[in-house]
Structure 1
Amino acid sequence: MNAVDMPLLISALVLVAVGSLVLAPRVRTAEGFFRGSSDAGVQPGVLTLTFSQVTTWIFARSLLNAGILGYFFGIAGALAYTAYYGSFLTGWLIVDRLRFRHGSANMQSFLQARFGRLGNACFNFLLVMRLLTEVFANLLVVGIVFGIAGSTEYTLAILAVVAVTLIYSMTGGLRASLRTDLLQMGILLVLLAALFVLMLQHSLFDLPAVMMSSPDITSPGWILLVVALLQVLSYPMHDPVMMDRGFLADRDTTRRSFMHAFWISSLCILAFGLLGVFAGLNKLEGEEFLTSIARLLGEPAMLMLAVALVISAASTMDSTFSSAAKLAVVDMGMGKGKAGSGRIAMLLFAIGGLVLVFFGSQDLFSAVAVSGTASLFLTPVIIFSILAGREVRSWAFMVTFFAAIAGSIIYFLESSGRVGWVGALSGVEHNYAKLLIITLVILLVGLVSFVLALVPRTKA
């Protein structure tokens, strides 16, 4: 990243790392390690849950994506990415119905009861892919902050962030994640607010121009907004980091934490998206997003941005590691429920993320789009099974699952330029238009399948 004082950046991050290591407790009980309760068995409060939800969803790649979408597509791009944070509302609804209507302790128990072991295995496969993608995507951003891909700085930064987050995550599990999230979220809010104020005070900032930056209704940004609204129901259910926090506290605390997380995270992401819009309106020919920000706001802003990106990456990864441990040991039944087994799972997911970074695709957008598209198979599950409480034959679940997986693979191939099937059949050219078509097809297949597979209600 250009125009960043590296010694000062490293010093700031070392202080945050030391603070996180000091805050992280040594947890010895499985309940504290996997469910975040204190040694006395006290559940996390509203503030802890809210800040943890927000900071784990304002991940490094989300900040970068929001800024880049605003940079290229104006206000429509910023709003489109913000729309995904409506997942806190739909996520709360899903959790509330699972816990208090269906009496489920997690999503896996509900899915196994309704769709059998194979249905549960399909869901767990998606969660594993999602968690690995989170580690990969955030480490990729960390590397970009410090240097070009493959450079010594790039590699060392990635390894250092993995090592620090893995150490305190393995020490304290979910309890450590919750405690360090408070520190990391506090710093992140200050940094984002400072960047936003710098933009508002800039002589080139023009609010009317920002608001009118997407005049074309067919802009890819508006198309992505439609996609986000179609995906926002299923999106939270395939994110174990969010869902795990929905099973930690009582009903009122859970509801309030999700509601507060919604408006706080939406404002933060929208603010960062507007930073991208501002940079896009004032960019020079051939400039990239980060280069424009450096020229417009200067070195102090770039330092704050770099710190924000790395902190958000670390915060997301410690939560990802704790969710990976719970998924493997508690939800999938491996390791006899022991914290030691959870630590092994964390290490394996860290290694998997590193393999993807150094030997996989370097395309941030294509890689992270796969899981979101694949999660669409959960939309009819939520509508018919969780919300309506209807019994559905298992074949519909499998048909919808394979349709969603096929659609996500096709989008990955389309967006990376390997195939052009959707464009040839539909005539559309932009990737987001193709994504909209794929999303609609998956939803149509899923909803029709579930309607056909409904088990008739029995008369009392």
Structure 2
Amino acid sequence: MDISLIIAVTAVAIISVFLSPKANSSKAFFSGHSPEGKPPGLLMLTFSQVTTWIFARSLLNAAILGFYYGLWGTLAYAAYYLSFLTGAKIIDSVRFDQGFSSIQAFLAHRFGHWGTRCYNFVIGIRLISEVFANILVIGILFGVTGSTSYTAAVALFAVITLIYSMLGGLHASLRTDLFQMILFLVLLGGLTVLVLTTGQLTSTALMFKSFDITDPGPVLILVALLQIWSYPMHDPVMMDRGFLADRETTRKSFYHATWISFICITLFGSFGIIAGANAISGEAMNDTLMRLLGEVPMLLFNITLVISAMSTLDSTLSSASKLVAVDMQWIEPSLINGRITMAVFVLLGLLLVFAGNKDLFSAVAVSGTASMYLAPVIFFSLWGKRTDIPLWSYLSCFAIALAGAALYFTESSGHTHLLGDSHKYTKLLWISLSVLAGGCLLFWAGMISKQQPTTLPETVV
């Protein structure tokens, strides 16, 4: 275990604790406002948006996809960050155009209790998967699965992040996000300069995989372009930040988060592309990068992953406590209940780390597919402002999206071969197309059924 990495992680954790003001009221804990009641400014909100979406799993996924599928694999993952554009439109419509205080309030108005139950189920799974994935990345960095160093790193990281998250809730998360994002940008800039000095970041290396629309990278770009319409709505961390500031600040934060995130993800993914272009047969990505770049760049590489994991985990825990106490109203929204909820989600994440699937992209693909039940909701009920969509359309759409997510999981993990022997991303594309088309047809059919007369007209004598 690298002592330099341990020192760096400890320093970031200590600073994060000091930056986390202890919340004295449930409003400060759940609302994200300062103790004086002020909402976050543009810089804080933008950086919080970016750093909570550029999480460790994302960075590692972008690099791994670049390693195997070249520039097109990295661009496919970067394409998911166009979700900030659709997310901005969703928030603007829900909050400022139609006047709802949350996504749950909008869904309850359109589809009643079942509208929020289905939604809360999907985002609850999403939050647990985020806790799991970011803790898992830390374990991967510090040791072999099951080793003492792996177990110790996972446990310590989870406990340290939980402690400072419990201090101040959402406002503390925003403050630490700002610090962690600035540090992340400095480290990413330094890492890029070091890589450039090695002469490895060349156009030849970046284009070592030619474009072929049937290859996994380009196919995954198409998948991302299908899923970004609904993906932001099922991410409670992004949606929560859409209800904190005024309209102009909120809109600008989403727009700036789009280009900043896209550049950061593409830049980090390029390191994986370099490794893919220079890898020896059977060599792992990290081993290739260590051989090409040396110890200092790899230390920065790992530190950026740790910082992004920490910034995402604290935000995920804040959203989890808000979901259970405020949005679902399962418990009273008090400080103690919010902190207990955070601890429960950390325990659930740890259980998945030690017993769950180790494929990091699976969580993205599965949750992204499940979220596609929201696409017709957005197209018809939100942007189309239709209030006549029946509940059966909503529930049927939810059912086929969950079925699609489950099918992709079993197909990609090799448990089933119902879709043949094509690449798992090709399967994901067809599943995503089917779920999207099927959901829109169900909403259209429901809309048409509402327009038909329910009784026969009286006979005129």
Question: How many percent of aligned residue pairs carry the same amino acid?
Answer: 53
Q: Give the aligned partner of residue 224 of structure 1.
A: 220
Distance in 2 (CA, whole Å) between partners of 1:336 and 1:61 is 32
Which shows bigger deviation, 292-301 or 196-205? 196-205
CA 204–230 in structure 1, closer or farther in 2 if over 3 Å, else same: same
Q: Matched residues in 2 for 1:274 and 1:286: separation?
A: 20
User: Does 2:373 correspond to 1:377?
Assistant: yes
The answer to whether the Cα contact below 8 Å between 1:137 and 1:368 also exists between their aligned partners in 2 is no
Query: What is the letter of the counterpart of residue 60 of structure 1?
Result: A
2:259 aligned residue: 263
SS of 1:376's partner is helix
Counterparts of residues 383-402 of structure 1 (less than 5 Å)? 383-391=379-387, 392-402=389-399
Q: CA deviation at 1:64?
A: 0.4
Corresponding residue for 1:341? Answer: 337
Inter-partner Cα distance in structure 2 for 1:48 and 1:293 = 33
Is residue 448 of structure 1 aligned with residue 441 of structure 2? yes
Q: CA deviation digits over 1:325-374, x for unaligned, max 9?
A: 10000000122221221111111111110111112222222233211110
Q: Can you list the C-alpha shifts for 1:44-80, whole angstroms capped at 9, x where unaligned?
A: 0000001111111110010000001111111110110
One-letter amino acid of the counterpart of residue 189, structure 1: L
Change (3 A) 1:10 1:394: same
Residues of 2 paired with 1:344 and 1:110: CA distance? 28
Amino acid at match of 1:448: L
Counterpart amino acid of 2:172?
A
Q: What SS does structure 1 have at the residue aligned with 2:332?
A: helix
Q: Higher mean Cα deviation, 262-271 or 202-211? A: 202-211
Shift of 1:114: 0.6
Q: Structure 1 runs of 4+ off > 6 angstroms?
A: none
Work out which of the residue numbers 33, 55, 63 in structure 1 matches 2:59. Answer: 63
Partner of 2:19: 23
Q: Secondary structure at the match of 2:80?
A: helix
Q: How big is each residue's C-alpha offset from its partner over 1:174-208, in whole Å with a ceiling of 9 and x where there is no partner? A: 01100111111111111111222223232343214
**Equivalent residues of 2:369, 2:401 under 8 A apart:** yes
Q: Residue 443 of structure 1 aligns to which amino acid in structure 2? A: L
Asked if 1:251 corresponds to 2:270, the answer is no
Q: Matches of 1:338 and 1:217 in 2, distance apart?
A: 52
Q: Give the 5 Å matches for 1:298-317.
A: 298-317=294-313
| Cα distance change on mapping 1:457 and 1:175 into 2, 3 Å | farther
Distance 1:201 1:381 in 2: 49
Which residue matches 1:433?
426
- Give the RMSD, CA atoms, in angstroms: 1.4
Alignment of 1:175-254 (within 5 A): 175-211=171-207, 213-254=209-250
Partner of residue 160, structure 1: 156
Shift of 1:288: 1.2
What code does the residue aligned with 2:425 have?
Y
Give the whole-Å Cα distance in 2 for the aligned partners of 1:151 and 1:209.
35
Contact 2:366–2:406 (Cα < 8 Å) also in 1: yes
Q: CA deviation at 1:457?
A: 11
Tell me the distance in 2 between the aligned counterparts of 1:148 and 1:209.
30
Counterpart of 2:202, as a letter, is D
2: CA distance between counterparts of 1:204 and 1:31? Answer: 50
- Structure 1 position 290, deviation (Å): 1.1
**Equivalent residues in 2 for 1:21-170 (5 A)?**
21-170=17-166
Distance 2:383 2:4 in 1: 51
With over 3 angstroms needed to count, the CA separation of the structure-2 counterparts of 1:218 and 1:166, relative to structure 1, is same
Within-5 A mapping of 1:315-330? 315-330=311-326
Asked whether the 8 Å contact 1:73–1:214 carries over to 2, the reply is no
State yes or no: 1:406 paired with 2:403: yes
How far the C-alpha of 1:212 sits from its partner, in A, is 5.8
Residue in structure 2 matched with residue 422 of structure 1 by the alignment? 419
Judge conservation of contact 1:70–1:276 (CA < 8 Å) in 2: yes
Q: Alpha-carbon deviations, 1:124-146, whole Å to 9, x = none?
A: 00011000000001111100000
- Give the Cα separation in 1 of the matches to 2:80 and 2:70: 17
Shift of 1:159: 0.8
CA contact (8 A) 2:205 2:273 kept: no
How many residue pairs were aligned? Answer: 450
In the superposition, the TM-score normalised over structure 1's length comes to: 0.96
Matches of 1:70 and 1:182, distance apart in 2? 28
Partners of 2:211 and 2:218 within 8 A in 1: no
- Given residue 424 of structure 2, which amino acid in structure 1 is its aligned partner? N
Aligned counterpart, 2:7: 11
Moved more, 195-204 or 98-107: 195-204
Q: Partners of 2:141 and 2:268 in 1: how far apart?
A: 17
SS of the aligned residue for 1:337 comes to coil
In 1, the alpha carbon distance for the partners of 2:200 and 2:433 equals 40
Q: Is the 8 A contact 1:213 1:277 kept in 2?
A: no
CA distance in 1, matches of 2:444, 2:214: 33
**Structure 2 CA distance for aligned equivalents of residues 62 and 381 of structure 1:** 27
